[in-house]
Structure 1
């Protein structure tokens, strides 16, 4: 399932291969968390991948400046919704067998991004779930292209040879 609120994010994907797609306009994202939760409940016995994207944090960086109080507040708002989402998953009995990945595609400076500064290039990338080390910090180089490789590894799917991403083996117990 693919839940998003930035239209450009979906252009390269073929919707016929997804069971559910939900696009929300004008930075709305909270309804997609409820849709994602319903999708997880309905597919609880099947291997399931849910992608949840919230663009409002990026927009806050562009509008108010990266690391501004407004930008930080947008992250805090997303954090609250993620917490509610995870709590529902726990109450539904889906938590212990679920992996969660939290990441962003870029950082930012001033009102933009796209350069090669550390603040633009180094981004949060985290994972938790069964078989993942707790309180572990990745020390080797990591790249967002590794995300797909790790997901395939979790689903025990062979990675296509043309992919450049690598499985970060140090994250596993």
Structure 2
């Protein structure tokens, strides 16, 4: 009888460990997340973006990550940072500053749990930053969990300001987690249209900023311990977004750096809220029960 009970007991213990996400060793010391608002995955094959494509070649990526609905800004930035969709975090509109639906739970700061707060709770001394051009970002990141956050000055007058802010912050502070949120190509998509020459010119410009941020990481001596993520909140079609076309819903997710496989494209299903879960996995964090995101574990060594 004992010969039967012991193996079953061990199997039950093993099943529990497999079912419950637990803390583990970090995959890297630093994560730099670069978000391009309104960047549709359809554009990648046609775009002149050598720095981004180098990260793709040196890491793993999908062009099929789907936004939550509606396929617009605040609801998807929230989902990217909060590990869950609008049904749970409650931000449902393009410009949401507070939840239109009651958040399923609130953390000690009175906001739905974010990846920034999860990292802060686990590592109180970590340097955690968020830099952005669109002011709406600050309502979605739990600023009380951040070491530093700042909005860049008007893009039309100072187009390189956000990139310069990111370069300086990386070199001065060597952040554990940094999110850099560019507000284009969304504006170009609304003004000139998505999938237009103007749109691709903007992508080329933004790619140069990605290259500068990667170089700043090198200059800061962080490169060998950093994972880069380049992604977007939503895409677009004609001069709009928010609908249910694949041009609006599919966005790139590119991950490269320390302990990331040089696998190229992966085809496993990925949703917007899986970004937060993947960052939590990188840092060995236990994700909140309310999150529904899944880490893209297949991209790691």
The reply to whether TM is greater than 0.5 is yes
After TM superposition, the runs of 4+ consecutive aligned structure 1 residues lying more than 4 A away are none
- The 8 Å contact of residues 60 and 74 in structure 1, kept in 2 or not, is answered as yes
Consecutive unaligned residues in structure 1, runs of 5 or more: none
Q: In structure 2, which of residues 208, 223, 230 is the aligned counterpart of residue 102 of structure 1?
A: 230
Structure 2 CA distance for aligned equivalents of residues 29 and 4 of structure 1: 12
Matched, 1:35 2:170: no
What is residue 148 of structure 1 aligned with on the other side? 276
Structure 2 CA distance for aligned equivalents of residues 21 and 91 of structure 1: 22
Query: Could you tell me how far 1:11 is from its partner in structure 2?
Result: 1.5
Query: Could you tell me how far 1:61 is from its partner in structure 2?
Result: 0.5
Query: Could you tell me how far 1:118 is from its partner in structure 2?
Result: 1.1
Q: How many pairs were matched up?
A: 171
What is residue 19 of structure 1 aligned with on the other side? 147
Higher-Rg structure is 2
- The 8 Å contact of residues 229 and 255 in structure 2, kept in 1 or not, is answered as yes
- The 8 Å contact of residues 235 and 251 in structure 2, kept in 1 or not, is answered as yes
Deviations 1:50-97 (A, max 9, x none): 000111210000100001111111111010111122123223321111
What is residue 172 of structure 1 aligned with on the other side? 300
Report the TM-score, using the length of structure 1 for normalisation: 0.91
Deviations 1:85-141 (A, max 9, x none): 212322332111111000011111000011111111111111011111114212111
Query: Could you tell me how far 1:18 is from its partner in structure 2?
Result: 0.9
- What's the Cα RMSD here? 1.6
